[in-house]
Structure 1
Amino acid sequence: MAEANGLIQRITARVMEIVVRDAAQLLRDDERLHIAINLSTEDLKTQDAEQRLRRLSAEAGMGPRSLMVEITERGLIDPDKSRAVLLAVRASGFQVAIDDFGTGHSSLSYLATYDLDFLKIDKMFIDTLGTDAPTRLVTLHIIELARSLGLQMIAEGVENQTQCDILRQHGVQYAQGWLFARPMSIEQLSAFIDQHTAAARHDSEQAQPAGGFNGG
């Protein structure tokens, strides 16, 4: 509805402003983190979104790796315009992910046409892992396709350990879903990160003697 009424670019601009306002400090403090921002079909018709991303990240003192751009297959149906925009986005240092891969049409042609960094595997495929559903093989084919193209992968909607284990065994680098955390505020996210960073540091320190460290 926002696209049909010419409002989507204003919404995208506002989302970018809110991300910078609420998360800039968190992203500056830890360069491993990023926040993904979805761009619509209309956002890919002009250079406005790329220029706004560059300006806001510079003003906030964040590196471009702190923000990722996500686009759906529907946003790629006009390659003459959207390819130039995405090239500019990547040239500015921002990473680009294709979202909901496999749920639209001509997915393979999009991968051949565009320069991308990540492929996000839709939840409908992740749900088949660990089951007898014939479509589970499609999920594994998507993983192999991404690996052959040198794309990093993000699995969406991971809800149980079986799914997580299968994804890890097949080389999927990243995952998101309720197995790891529910939606939360920026303040809760900051506390969540601190908690897990401290736990990881403690586990590392505890593991050192078992790893053969010799203090001399």
Structure 2
Amino acid sequence: MSSKNIFSRCFFTPRQIAYFSILFGLVGALLFSGLTGLLLHNKREAEYDLLTKDIRHYLSTFFQELHVAVDSVQPLTVADCRLVSGELTSRAAFNVNVRAFVLIRHGVAYCSSATGRLHMPMNSLIPGIDLNKNNDLFIMNGTPMMPGKPTIAAWFKNQEVGERGVFITLNANLIPYLLFTARQSDVLSMAIVIEGKALTTLSPGVVNTDSLPPHPTRIAALTDYPIKIYLYGSLWPLEDIQFSILAGLIFGLFSGVLGSYFLFARMRSGKEILTGIKRGQFHVVYQPVVDAQKLEMQGVEALLRWEHPTAGAIPPDAFIAFAEAQQLIVPLTRHLFALVARDARQLQNILPPGAKLGINLAPGHLHAPMFKEDIMAFAASLPPQHFKLVFEITERDMLKEKEAMGLFCWLHKRGFEIAIDDFGTGHSALIYLQRFTLDYLKIDRGFVNSIGMETVTTPVLDAVLTLAKRLDMTTVAEGVETREQAKWLIERGVNYLQGYYFSRPLTLTQLMNWNQPQGSHNVLKDSH
């Protein structure tokens, strides 16, 4: 599997980003749709509350004005109808809400603004009426003068003269109340309710309250009069639901696109690498390099490791290759320099003077404008004259020949050594040997693994070792994992050995407590 595929597997693949984007979209759509619906619902609630308050105020004002009009008529109840019928008719004509004023004496209606003199017991007009009440309201199917025309009737007792009072029939249309509902488009119907009877927009006649739809949306009532206004509507109208769904879909689409952009832009490898550097997710391990003759540690190679908080340990080949592809190898290598410099004082107590300190260096950094400044700053951060720096050049990218020759010469003049890392795996290995002056040739673990298997790789390894001797290059074998491999390499004159047979890469603390395995010393005895 390529390093790119490994790296992608550790983070977000395009398919995973698509899944997460869809998930973001769905969650965003549901949340925003629900929130929008709740806001619209609360808005409807507030509008109904305001409407109910306005209707209650209207009714209160209406009955206050009606009471004033009745108080002006009450003095007429002590006079004969012939004397007051004209004034009574005049007062009814100038009050738009009053159909008729009727004067009551001893429970009998004796004078009407509409008909003049009459004689009609109130019990026959409204059975069960209680004339002892100060005021009362009724819903009637009609009056003798206007049968079949529902009306609201009101009784007001004369407080000064006993058993006298004024009976009023009112225009019972719902227009004044409907004016209030004009701004509330989802009010479906309304009803005026008095003592078990109701006038409603759903029916032309008087109905019993039992026949009204249950659970009115709002009820406007007065404390001084037995009248209520029922409002019927929906707090969840269809248009609000449709709008909420549409808003949710739009926001969900936006959330999905934004989530996709965020995952692509914020969680791509390059961003993660920079974030890892900033948050201290990288650390250095040191793998001992053993002298093939003495079988003693003569130096270490500093290796960068990445412990991601969610993806776990990221393979070095994966994130280094990706850093090169993302043009981030320079800041990553500078971070390696800083981490090694931080450990340098303690390394000085572990490694003897002149010990080799191997540092991997990518061609992308070698050709960077600040390369020389970076190298000199790194060398200055180490204890003076203690370590022998060996810069190991990887083969992932081709070197620029003329520029590289000058840089290698510059490195040699300042006492640094150069190694070609993982020799044999890159397309340019032989070109490097032919054109550049190099100090070390590091044999790739792929060749070492073939030892003893009688594959076509073994003769190639023999040829590589022969070539290194002719070029007077020091050889380092990587990936030594068995005693047989170590013995074979020692017998063929390899200078240094490195691999799990001697030690895996160690943290600084582990390196301080490291003791070379006793069995590795037997290899030297067996090789003679």
TM over 0.5: yes
| More strand by percentage | 2
TM-score, with structure 2 as normaliser: 0.35
Mapped to 2, the partners of 1:68 and 1:129 lie a distance apart of: 27
Say which of 461, 473, 485 aligns to 1:163: 485
Q: Which moved more, 1:140-149 or 1:100-109?
A: 100-109
Mapped to 2, the partners of 1:87 and 1:75 lie a distance apart of: 20
Say which of 10, 21, 39 aligns to 2:342: 21
2:395 aligned residue: 73
Q: Which moved more, 1:128-137 or 1:116-125?
A: 128-137
Question: 1:73–1:44: structure 2 CA closer, same or farther, 3 Å change rule?
Answer: same
1:125 aligned residue: 447
1:94 aligned residue: 416
2:324 aligned residue: 3
Mapped to 1, the partners of 2:374 and 2:331 lie a distance apart of: 11
Give the secondary-structure state (helix, strand or coil) at the position aligned to 1:96. Answer: strand
For residues 135-174 of structure 1, the aligned pairs below 5 Å read: 135-174=457-496
2:511 aligned residue: 189
Question: What percentage of aligned pairs have identical amino acids?
Answer: 35
Question: 1:4–1:73: structure 2 CA closer, same or farther, 3 Å change rule?
Answer: closer
Structure 1 residue runs of 5 or longer lacking an equivalent are 200-216
Give the secondary-structure state (helix, strand or coil) at the position aligned to 1:3. Answer: helix
1:63 aligned residue: 385
Question: 1:82–1:76: structure 2 CA closer, same or farther, 3 Å change rule?
Answer: farther
| More helix by percentage | 1
2:368 aligned residue: 46
Mapped to 1, the partners of 2:408 and 2:368 lie a distance apart of: 10
2:431 aligned residue: 109
Q: Deviations over 1:47-95 (max 9, x none)?
A: 6334323233223323374321011234443212222222212221111
Q: Deviations over 1:22-50 (max 9, x none)?
A: 13432365224332211112111136334
The CA RMSD measured in Å over matched residues stands at 2.0
Give the secondary-structure state (helix, strand or coil) at the position aligned to 1:104. Answer: coil
Preserved CA contact (<8 Å) 2:421 2:442? yes
* Structure 2 letter corresponding to 1:15: L
Preserved CA contact (<8 Å) 1:158 1:177? yes
Q: Deviations over 1:2-22 (max 9, x none)?
A: 223332111111100111111
Mapped to 2, the partners of 1:157 and 1:59 lie a distance apart of: 30
* Structure 2 letter corresponding to 1:185: T
- Count of aligned pairs between the two proteins: 195
Q: Which moved more, 1:43-52 or 1:148-157?
A: 43-52
Mapped to 2, the partners of 1:82 and 1:99 lie a distance apart of: 16
Structure 2 residue runs of 5 or longer lacking an equivalent are 1-321, 519-528
* Structure 2 letter corresponding to 1:191: N
Question: 1:47–1:94: structure 2 CA closer, same or farther, 3 Å change rule?
Answer: farther
Give the secondary-structure state (helix, strand or coil) at the position aligned to 1:116. Answer: coil
TM-score, with structure 1 as normaliser: 0.82
Greater radius of gyration (CA): 2
Mapped to 2, the partners of 1:85 and 1:66 lie a distance apart of: 18
Q: Which moved more, 1:128-137 or 1:47-56?
A: 47-56
Question: 1:131–1:153: structure 2 CA closer, same or farther, 3 Å change rule?
Answer: same
Question: 1:39–1:146: structure 2 CA closer, same or farther, 3 Å change rule?
Answer: same
